[in-house]
Structure 1
């Protein structure tokens, strides 16, 4: 009854199934490991941000470039505040508002974007308090440049003068003539009645949309593996029923001739 398993067609089916199932399991496991890695990164970033609030601030130059190890760490920089911009559509404590971003021109000649605080409502220059005059020393959490599309950051475009959608060199280069640091700082203590903006997890970490995509892909690959097994058993059952009908002579003449032609020849 199971002679059909020796036919070339079934050899091909069996080889495909034997290769497809381990491949699906491997890909599902790999996607799961990526999701678990993002969970681990989120926990590490949260712990780092919590510990960073109590650590001694270090000079900005010693903490660059920004990476997963330095993001969220406390830094200090000295300079003079210059151009001020607003960053609209930013959420804090489940409320919509905007960041007040001021460029700090340092002695190196480069300017450091500093988020001095957050205010509720629509971005309005009249609401934003002026930056302190003279030389100041700022202390806050170091952040990597934002990428439009990540962490809820919208793409630049259609904004009024004096506003930017993302805090990044690419977004600020056309708004600020100075050379910019590839980083920004959010102050520990906001200026003039604004709320301080907490440090955000660096891009590529945390339970964002990409992380849950990895989890979804994990389920898809395991479903593919189960579907492959299901289809193999379904084809096997169909062939067994076909062979049983052939033995009982219940097949039409044409199908009986096809069955005889596909059967392996005894040596």
Structure 2
């Protein structure tokens, strides 16, 4: 850039435009980074909400006549009650664990009265066997809540087997008012010698959580790019207009 050209770019009439352009671009970049930080914070908070949920009493978050909501899924709870007679248990077949296919033992757990039951997975076995005995009397268990499973497998009353934890199907077969979801027990005392079933871990947080903040960040950067373009265009046009015309 020649000395004359440099003076044209730095003449008093353009200094203000340069200052405005720098401030506008810097502000847009800063605001974009701030919104990006807000997006990252939303993601972290959502991860914490999913993975660092304290264990609470079942009765404080869910009742037998209430629907199963997303907030209950994978929720650690504790509950007191009594297991229904061993003959009311059901094997849920086709369940894989440690690379093997076996069955879950599903037992009605009477939480609030004799007719209200939460279906509890006591444990896993390589294959269905005779129904094992249940713990006697009132017991306390720790468990993780899960929503009922889908599937078209019908219930076999003779073998007491079903292919998935289908709450509606089991409601018609068991003499209890069933909760609309089930629980996977994490208490060894309730397993009766079966292998405990590892509860599913919450999935990764969707990138769309906090999407508005991410969109605002991109928007601010687009504004910054536009401000940079307008500064360049106005400055170059002003310099060209002030340059001496060659005859």
For structure 1, which runs of at least 5 residues remain unmatched after alignment?
A: 1-43, 149-153, 207-267
What secondary structure, in the 3-state scheme, does the structure 1 residue paired with 2:175 have?
A: coil
Tell me, yes or no, if the aligned pair for 1:80 and 1:105 is still in contact at 8 Å: yes
Cα separation, 2, equivalents of 1:171 and 1:142: 19
Cα separation, 2, equivalents of 1:45 and 1:178: 36
- Matched with 2:96 is 91
- Matched with 1:57 is 56
- Matched with 1:183 is 181
> Which residue among 98, 114, 120 is the counterpart of 1:114?
120
**TM-score under structure 2 length normalisation:** 0.53
User: 1:82-231 counterparts in 2 under 5 A?
Assistant: 82=84, 83-108=88-113, 109-120=115-126, 122-125=127-130, 128-148=131-151, 155-156=153-154, 160-190=158-188, 191-200=191-200
**TM-score under structure 1 length normalisation:** 0.49
Deviation at 1:45, TM superposition (A): 8.5
What secondary structure, in the 3-state scheme, does the structure 1 residue paired with 2:184 have?
A: strand
- Matched with 2:80 is 78
Tell me, yes or no, if the aligned pair for 2:55 and 2:75 is still in contact at 8 Å: no
Cα separation, 2, equivalents of 1:113 and 1:105: 9
Deviation at 1:157, TM superposition (A): 5.3
Cα separation, 2, equivalents of 1:67 and 1:164: 24
Deviation at 1:98, TM superposition (A): 0.6
* Deviation string, structure 1 residues 21-45 (Cα, Å, up to 9, x no partner): xxxxxxxxxxxxxxxxxxxxxxx79
User: 1:14-33 counterparts in 2 under 5 A?
Assistant: none
Distance 1:123 1:57, change over 3 A: same
Cα separation, 1, equivalents of 2:156 and 2:138: 34
Cα separation, 2, equivalents of 1:117 and 1:81: 14
Cα separation, 1, equivalents of 2:76 and 2:175: 27
What secondary structure, in the 3-state scheme, does the structure 2 residue paired with 1:69 have?
A: helix
Cα separation, 2, equivalents of 1:45 and 1:188: 22
Query: What RMSD in Å do the two structures reach over aligned CA positions?
Result: 2.9
Q: How many residues align?
A: 151
Cα separation, 2, equivalents of 1:192 and 1:133: 11
Distance 1:123 1:200, change over 3 A: same
Cα separation, 2, equivalents of 1:88 and 1:170: 17
For structure 2, which runs of at least 5 residues remain unmatched after alignment?
A: 1-45, 205-247
Cα separation, 1, equivalents of 2:48 and 2:162: 27
Tell me, yes or no, if the aligned pair for 1:168 and 1:182 is still in contact at 8 Å: no
* Deviation string, structure 1 residues 101-140 (Cα, Å, up to 9, x no partner): 11012224311101010111x2122xx5311011112210
